[in-house]
Structure 1
Amino acid sequence: MAKTVKEVSSYNEDSIRSLDWREHIRLRPGMYIGKLGDGSSPDDGIYVLVKEVIDNCIDEYTMGFGRQVEIKIDEKNVTIRDYGRGIPLGKVVDVVSKINTGAKYDSKVFQKSVGLNGVGTKAVNALSSYFKVAAFREGKTKVAEFERGALIKEHRESATNEENGTLVTFTADDTIFKNFHFIPEYLEKQVWNYCFLNAGLKIIFNGKNYISKNGLLDLLERNTNADELRYPIIHLKGNDIEVAITHNNDYGEDYYSFVNGQHTTQGGTHQAAFRESYVKVIRDFFKKDYDAADIRQSIVAAVSVRVVEPVFESQTKTKLGSLNVEDGGPSMRQFVLEFLSRELDNYLHKNPTIAEALKKRIEQSERERKDMAGIKKLANERAKKANLHNKKLRDCRVHLNDEPPTKNKQDFFVTQQNSTIFITEGDSASGSITKARSVETQAVFSLRGKPLNCFGMSKKIVYENEELNLLQHALNIEEGMDGLRYNRIVIATDADVDGMHIRLLVMTFFLQFFPDLVKNNHVYILETPLFRVRNKQETIYCYSEQEKQKAMKKLGGKPEITRFKGLGEISPDEFGRFIGEEMRLQPVILEHGDHIQHLLEYYMGKNTQERQEFIINNLRVELDAAEALN
């Protein structure tokens, strides 16, 4: 018999549950580490777990204890060792298993640290299938072991020859982080950022040494192409602030911002203060009322500040909300403005050649903007009309740039991080994704065919080409990355020659005109199954020839094998499996040393002998591999 409405909606004393710290973290992990993910995105939970442990090591270094951190990540097992003061032995268990327990609440012990909420290692502990912590202090050690936050063994204190410090080993729980894997490039970027922000700190990551002598200067040198810089990098340091600035030939603005060693990927008050203050100082120096967009066009800058008790907008600390450098001190805007007004102004007066190169870059941006003004106005009017009945875009409800509500902010931030737009080709593929998607966080933009090859063209083409202009408006990136509406931009094309070509053309569009989308890890390729292998009892979807062979062996006999040639062949019911929680995404990553214009010329320019040889050699390798499997 069906339950009555009264029974279902009954609300009494029995409805109230009290969860202990471990249960609460495991039930609501998003409150503590943001979105879960599988490791394909740099803000996925497994990287936050690593970061939370390293942050404690960095805070020790910042306070003057320990100049080396050792990190080893072997598939899914993580080990991190610092040489700081070590957790007080009597509090080893409490520090990693009792919420609101830690030394970060005592500002005399930890000043201007990033770990403030007494949550970090507790979240790592609760979300790990295995967690071990060992503290070493003055010849003694204390070790404790946990499973999913539950203490399974507390070792007695014993003598040791180990240097002071802390050792943490953990394995993320794969019942929470399903099918997770670490991407080495993301981990290496994390490690380098710690080094850039803590000049002199040595990090040994999987046996390789990482160290920076010049801080943010090294960061910009590593992340920019020297032959594209319009002038040498300007590097300025002061009390609790450091900046590095240059301009290149890319479109847009590229910022790396940090607070107390934390990479604030979504910016915040310190980044906003820098952008505003930089414009004012440049206008005052040249005594010209340049347009702010012209001054900042093509800028590449890094800014790092240290503040007492910063206020972040979420536990994952990706956006600074704090307005004060210190209680009773100047506002962040005033602090940054005073620093740049003094240091940047002095630098430009002492280096007139650099000042002249900067002026030429600004005036070039001004000319380009005025040249495009007419076509831009017409294109935007056309886009406004199209947006009223835009059949290309099937939008979702929550966007990355939405203002958070007054309540349930953390849940909203997690939902924002999942905001995704699929760029598809053709009505059949778009139709399947549209029917299977989550209308809350997943949008679909449909291309009518192969987009224009943008290599070597000026930005004017973005406005002259209706489809590219509509895509630009759908993403809301015309005025820069601040308005980006989706955290993940997923290129979803068929796994055939035409599909691969469309992928290249879309990536060329982003790299040519909006490289920050790729640099900041917003662009992905959707992996969809190539084969369906099934018998009457089981269906297995395979993403490669190797997976197909494995599935055939598992099912035995003569299973039915279907080869998917296009997205339109996959039914909406099936598609729902491939764009849900277990969606497989391949991030588009620019490796260190990649030169964007050289890459585009190699792959999208004229058909060179070098490219022909590359294709022939790699095609032969693929054919040999396929023959070996068969």
Structure 2
Amino acid sequence: MADEQLPIAPQHAYTEDSIRSLDWREHIRLRPGMYIGKLGDGSAYDDGIYVLVKEVIDNSIDEHVMGHGRTIDIKISDQRVQVRDYGRGIPLGKVVDVVSKINTGGKYDSKVFQKSVGLNGVGTKAVNALSNYFLVQSVRDGLMKSAEFSQGKLVQDPKPAKTSQRNGTLMVFQPDDTVFKNYRFIPEYLENQIWNYVYLNAGLTINFNGQKYYSENGLLDLLSRKADAESLRYPIIHLKAPDIELALTHGNDYGEEYYSFVNGQYTTQGGTHLAAFREAVVKTVREFYKKEYDAADIRGSIIAAISVRVQEPVFESQTKTKLGSINMGEDGPTVRGFILDFVKEHLDNYLHKNQAVADALKRRIEQSERERKDMAGVKKLANQRAKKANLHNRKLRDCRFHLGEGKQEAEALTTLFITEGDSASGSITKSRNVETEAVFSLRGKPLNCFGLKKKIVYENEELNLLQHALNIEEGIEHLRYNRVVIATDADVDGMHIRLLLLTFFLQFFPDLVRNNHVFILETPLFRVRNKKTTIYCYNEQEKQEAMRKLGRNPEVTRFKGLGEISPDEFGKFIGENIKLEPVILQSDRSIQQVLTYYMGKNTPARQEFIIDNLRQEKDLITSDVLPVEEVAEEDMAFA
């Protein structure tokens, strides 16, 4: 036995043929995640199709920042994006090179483009390689040069021709539907992108799909649009100097709300500059009031925005969502030191000059302090109960990977499905991907949290277990899942549970929604099939089209609840082709306005809305529709 040889696994020959060289186009298409992050279908704000849009617009913004062009025209339809600026235009002899030769661009010369966001010469090449159709066109001094590509391959390269058009650059592209499957542009995400561009570039006009976007007051306008004026505790503080601008105030919502930017890039994951800003606010406030307030009390309910410009920013990924450690410029201070000094001087001066604001800020801090101390006892007991429950938590069927564990590809897919009852959770549990998908089962309808204090979260066992499953007790910095998906039945009860959960998140953890982590799972309402083909339909129109396609007398099944869908079928709807509807807060309505309208006491406005919009579809089962007089106050709160 001692001499017995163990079987040797077959080895593939490692020869010269094993070494491959990919050109720029092949490499981008083979590893798109390296260039644009996750692909996605457009349901998440950071999906790749929005990164493609951003890469093209960024070049036009950089032209504006350098003093060339005050207007950008953008048109985006379901499939096509068109961006036209009125800057200097790409030098005509380099029009093809700048969109098809890697590491080619004008931003390596810091004298030409200073404090630009795109420095690697990659952005438009990635857009080109990942588009079925890509057009670049430059106009300079009466001459126009254009080129057309498909998946990065040059297909049209005409010679320059005379034109009467204004100088500038036009780029048109259509994302490749073999890479971005079933993609769609969500208007709210695009509109937020456009607003951020104009807030950060005072004097710039962007015409987007026929609507004009313009800002005179920068980050002051941003906070004015994002915050509910009636709930602000004091007027917005707006401070500005070369290379830095900030705005801040306090409201009444739970959590901290920040918008951070570097060189015009929205750093959704924050970074050095945001960490320094949060630290600076705490230090300045403590020194001003000469009292060691708890940092959480100072920052509780804060709404703030900060923008900095640095010469050569170092981001932690190609998608530029988090700033690394960097100096402000050659031999300049670090970003952290620069921000600490600026906030210490200017915020301190502002509070000394504006006593009413200083008094209002102090009252807000002390209110947070009282609420925190009032909650301390019940919080301790609730956490002890939750710790015991977590050992045998039957409500949570967890997954292997979680957000924040350093495995980027898996992290983007980490999902918690919140389901109603055992039958629905059973179907999802059996068909889910145990690596990245977890399930939390509700017992009946959760509590309506509207107008309640956060103390209730700890007193209600189910809500407390849910916040522990998500790990968001102290905020969303340690959130365990990238996507929180509400999976309820397509009936009145399911809609009501959905609204109660949204109320819970918006009331106590609004950052979850603001940062686009909350989604609604769309599952098919109908299955239409014959002996050869099965088609799943999400609405009445799709059902009618499927019936016409399959011909005579197809079998039609309506799914009333998720538990009626078998695990084998469910696997098709929560896998690669999952359909998620993001929960997006409209910028012109505050959280409290939304919750008061939908979940508050039965207001006349809501009664009128429901009566005007009640309707009964032919294919709805009678039990799905309740008479108006039988709908309780909470049950009437559906949109």
TM-score, normalised to structure 1's length? 0.95
Q: Does 1:455 align with 2:450?
A: yes
Letter in 1 for 2:56: V
Superposed CA deviations along residues 252-276 of structure 1, whole A, max 9, x for unmatched, are: 0000000000000011111000001
Superposed CA deviations along residues 332-353 of structure 1, whole A, max 9, x for unmatched, are: 2211110001100000111000
Q: For 2:53, which of 34, 38, 50 is the aligned residue?
A: 50
Per the alignment, residue 497 of structure 1 pairs with 492
Mapped to 2, the partners of 1:398 and 1:137 lie a distance apart of: 52
1:252 is paired with a residue whose SS is coil
Per the alignment, residue 224 of structure 1 pairs with 227
1:455 is paired with a residue whose SS is coil
Aligned length: 615
Per the alignment, residue 469 of structure 1 pairs with 464
The within-5 A match list for 1:331-350 is 331-350=334-353
Q: For 1:353, which of 330, 341, 356 is the aligned residue?
A: 356
Q: Does 1:601 align with 2:604?
A: no
Q: Shift in Å at residue 297 of structure 1?
A: 0.3
CA shift in 2, pair 1:397/1:321, >3 Å: farther
Q: For 1:88, which of 88, 91, 95 is the aligned residue?
A: 91
Q: Shift in Å at residue 397 of structure 1?
A: 2.8
Per the alignment, residue 43 of structure 2 pairs with 40
Mapped to 2, the partners of 1:189 and 1:153 lie a distance apart of: 34
Q: Which moved more, 1:441-450 or 1:165-174?
A: 441-450
Per the alignment, residue 121 of structure 1 pairs with 124
Letter in 1 for 2:611: I
Q: Shift in Å at residue 7 of structure 1?
A: 5.6
Per the alignment, residue 240 of structure 1 pairs with 243
Mapped to 2, the partners of 1:357 and 1:219 lie a distance apart of: 22
Q: Shift in Å at residue 85 of structure 1?
A: 1.3
Q: Shift in Å at residue 436 of structure 1?
A: 1.8
Mapped to 1, the partners of 2:337 and 2:393 lie a distance apart of: 44
Q: Shift in Å at residue 379 of structure 1?
A: 1.1
Mapped to 2, the partners of 1:9 and 1:449 lie a distance apart of: 56
Q: Shift in Å at residue 225 of structure 1?
A: 0.4
Per the alignment, residue 31 of structure 2 pairs with 28
1:79–1:167 CA contact under 8 A, matched in 2: yes
Per the alignment, residue 303 of structure 2 pairs with 300
Mapped to 2, the partners of 1:464 and 1:328 lie a distance apart of: 54
Q: Shift in Å at residue 6 of structure 1?
A: 5.7
Per the alignment, residue 556 of structure 1 pairs with 551
Mapped to 2, the partners of 1:144 and 1:241 lie a distance apart of: 39
CA shift in 2, pair 1:624/1:161, >3 Å: farther
Q: Does 1:258 align with 2:253?
A: no
Mapped to 2, the partners of 1:199 and 1:417 lie a distance apart of: 34
1:34–1:413 CA contact under 8 A, matched in 2: no
1:324 is paired with a residue whose SS is coil
CA RMSD of aligned residues (A): 1.6
- Give unmatched runs, 5+ long, in structure 2: 1-6, 622-639
1:79–1:169 CA contact under 8 A, matched in 2: yes
Q: Does 1:211 align with 2:206?
A: no
Q: Shift in Å at residue 442 of structure 1?
A: 1.8
Letter in 1 for 2:603: T
- Give unmatched runs, 5+ long, in structure 1: 405-411
2:82 is paired with a residue whose SS is strand
Q: Does 1:541 align with 2:536?
A: yes
Letter in 2 for 1:109: V
Q: Shift in Å at residue 592 of structure 1?
A: 2.4
Mapped to 1, the partners of 2:480 and 2:158 lie a distance apart of: 50
Per the alignment, residue 578 of structure 1 pairs with 573
Mapped to 1, the partners of 2:477 and 2:331 lie a distance apart of: 30
Superposed CA deviations along residues 574-628 of structure 1, whole A, max 9, x for unmatched, are: 11111122211111111122132232222222233432332222123x548989x
The percent of aligned pairs where both chains have the same amino acid is: 73
Mapped to 1, the partners of 2:557 and 2:452 lie a distance apart of: 42
Per the alignment, residue 376 of structure 1 pairs with 379
Letter in 2 for 1:58: I
CA shift in 2, pair 1:171/1:608, >3 Å: same
Mapped to 2, the partners of 1:421 and 1:91 lie a distance apart of: 48
2:277–2:340 CA contact under 8 A, matched in 1: yes
The within-5 A match list for 1:244-323 is 244-323=247-326
Superposed CA deviations along residues 302-339 of structure 1, whole A, max 9, x for unmatched, are: 00111111111111111111332224322222111100
Per the alignment, residue 506 of structure 2 pairs with 511
1:116 is paired with a residue whose SS is coil
Mapped to 2, the partners of 1:223 and 1:5 lie a distance apart of: 64
